[in-house]
Chain A
Amino acid sequence: MYDVKKIRKDFPVLGLQINGHPNTFLDSAASAQKPQMVIDKMVNIYSKEYSNVHRGSYLLSEEITSEYEEARKKVQKFLGAKEDSEIVFTRNATEAINLVAATWGRKFLSPKDRVVISEAEHHANLVPWQVLRDEIGFELKIFKINDDGSFNPEEYQKSLNDNTKLVAITGMSNVLGTVFPLKEMIALAHQRGAKVLVDACQYIVHQPVDVVDLDCDFLAFSGHKIYGPTGVGVLYGKEELLSIMPPYQFGGDMVDVVTYEKTTFDVPPARFEAGTPAIVQAIGLGAALDYVMNLGMDAIKAHEDELVDYIHQRLPEVKGLKEIGTAAGKGGVISIVMEGVHPQDLAFLLDKEGVSIRVGHHCAAPLVHRMGYESLARASFGLYTDHDDIDRFIAALQKAKTFF
């Protein structure tokens, strides 16, 4: 039984008062709150176990190295990856995508090739490919989605050709909540001989992921969106791909033999983790994954699906409100516009009621413009969101309307 009231007690920030009201935190898609066990784990490391990793000539370093590598195994387990060497710790998902662009992309893409992305990409999965296109001269093909935000299989299939080398797609839109049929999309891309990178930042927070079953070649996500700390992200890459990719950054911890004349590089994942990594953050991420795996990703998905149904029942009560992105099976990312009320005005007034939402282009400006807007207000759910949050959100929207 998923006891959301009990779960909420694990997240200290949810207990705060905001402008004299209960904290109605509806911006988890930007960054999620942290359970106490993640905070405790990190404090404990700093106060009782800290030293550098992979310098193992003394006890503390041996212990923390094993904790750090244990965190990698937790990510492996969480993703269903075959090997822990397929898990690279990065700074965040943005760095993970940039790593693929800078290493695999620079080595294997040429001017005759095509890279396919969707209209629904976050800047982090658009700009790296634009910049690399300008450098290499390949074609960047952006396939269309439907006006309601849903996936259009014909448009996707049309975008694939025999020159397609890479499909880089979001699993779930951070603006529209659309969940893309990754498995089918990946199979189609593979039929054309293309590799597939999944930007799983939003997707992975809301449903189970199995990289072997999906058969994706790369997958990127950020720690802080899945209830872990900031400063750590993950790149999953198939072993056969990571092993033929050149290093991304150079320095300590990623080398094999170094002389003044030349250097040979370590094998993955060390090859891609130059310098002292975000040790405590990676271990904190491991704790966060323990937390969600203990609740069960299926249970989290069922809880959030019910919340999406509930908000869809309640939203029509607010006259003049329109939801942008209404694909069937969408996740808990609800972008709205209110007739005659600028999203920023809405956010100001909601904040006064203790309701935190995000406004603007959500780092997906072309998508917001494609949907016909300059700016959208977005409420997003996490595993701790409950009916009271939605009730307070609806009440605050009704109140905001009275100002105009």
Chain B
Amino acid sequence: MDIEELIENFQFLDNWEDKYRYIIELGEKLPPLPEEYHAEEWKVQGCQSQVWLVPQKEENGDLSFAGDSDAMIVKGLIAIVLSIYNHKSPSAIKAVAVEDIFAKLNLQEHLSPSRRNGLLAMIDKIKHYAEIL
């Protein structure tokens, strides 16, 4: 699912309960991250849940990412982040205005540094990979 489609779907969810049920559903549908990647090497430092992120370079030079969390809502938020960044060139990744997209989804609270849910750290890591890969 691409991000435009997600933004559209979110517009039909008019209470927080439905929105969070949908986020949890997105998390459940996230392709499982193979066990060997649940390692310290791929861990994103969050405080309250564990988050893993693994980058991959596609043949055309675009980047894509696989991710996981032991918390379901965080996993759903990861699914949204990956739909924003996957299959993009490093320069396109750097140009994404992720705050604007989260604002459109009305989920901007999850990007607040005080949330410590690892999401902000994951986005920083994606941008870091876009620099070095």
Q: Is the CB of A348 within 8 A of B73?
A: yes
A112 close to chain B: CB less than 8 A: no
Residue tally, chain B, CB below 8 Å to A: 16
Residues of chain A within 8 A (CB-CB) of B70 are: 342, 374
Segment 336-370 of A: residues with Cβ below 8 Å from B: 341-345, 347-349, 352, 359-360
B72 close to chain A: CB less than 8 A: yes
Given contacts A348-B73, A374-B70, A404-B72, contact A343 B20 (CB under 8 A): no
Q: Is the CB of B47 within 8 A of A342?
A: no
B interface residues (Cβ-Cβ under 8 A, vs A): 16-17, 20-21, 24, 47-50, 70-74, 116-117
Would you list the 7 A-B pairs with minimal beta carbon distance, nearest first? A342-B71, A344-B71, A344-B49, A360-B48, A344-B48, A345-B73, A359-B48
Interface centre among A344, A347, A360, A374 (most CB of B within 10 A): A344
Q: Is the CB of B49 within 8 A of A375?
A: yes
Sample of 10 more A-B contacts, CB < 8 Å, known A345-B73, A349-B20: A342-B49, A342-B73, A344-B73, A348-B73, A349-B73, A352-B17, A352-B20, A360-B47, A403-B17, A404-B24
Residues of chain B within 8 A (CB-CB) of A347 are: 48
Residue in B closest to A341 when the chains form the complex, CB atoms: B72
Residue in B closest to A377 when the chains form the complex, CB atoms: B48
Q: Is the CB of A343 within 8 A of B48?
A: yes
Residue in B closest to A360 when the chains form the complex, CB atoms: B48
Residues of chain B within 8 A (CB-CB) of A359 are: 48
A89 to B107, CA, bound (A): 42
Residue in B closest to A340 when the chains form the complex, CB atoms: B72
Residues of chain B within 8 A (CB-CB) of A375 are: 48-49
Decide if the interface of chain A is mainly helix, strand, loop or mixed.
Answer: mixed
CB distance from B15 to the nearest CB of A (A): 10
Residues of chain B within 8 A (CB-CB) of A19 are: 16
Residues of chain B within 8 A (CB-CB) of A349 are: 20, 73
Pick the residue among B16, B50, B71, B116 that contacts A345 (CB under 8 A): B71
A64 to B21, CA, bound (A): 56
A75 to B11, CA, bound (A): 56
CB distance from B48 to the nearest CB of A (A): 4
Residues of chain A within 8 A (CB-CB) of B50 are: 374
Q: Is the CB of B49 within 8 A of A348?
A: no
Interface centre among B71, B116, B117 (most CB of A within 10 A): B71
Q: List 29 interface pairs A-B (beta carbons < 8 Å), by A numbering.
A: A19-B16, A341-B72, A342-B49, A342-B70, A342-B72, A342-B73, A342-B74, A343-B48, A344-B48, A344-B49, A344-B71, A344-B73, A344-B74, A344-B117, A345-B72, A345-B73, A345-B74, A347-B48, A348-B73, A349-B20, A349-B73, A352-B16, A352-B17, A360-B47, A360-B48, A374-B50, A375-B49, A403-B24, A404-B24
A375 to B71, CA, bound (A): 11
CB distance from A47 to the nearest CB of B (A): 30
Residues of chain A within 8 A (CB-CB) of B47 are: 360
A404 to B24, CA, bound (A): 8
CB distance from A402 to the nearest CB of B (A): 9
Interface centre among A342, A343, A347, A359 (most CB of B within 10 A): A342
Residue in B closest to A20 when the chains form the complex, CB atoms: B16
CB distance from B79 to the nearest CB of A (A): 14
Encode contact with B along A223-264: 1 for CB under 8 Å, 0 otherwise.
000000000000000000000000000000000000000000
Q: Is the CB of A348 within 8 A of B20?
A: yes
Residue in A closest to B46 when the chains form the complex, CB atoms: A344
A16 to B99, CA, bound (A): 28
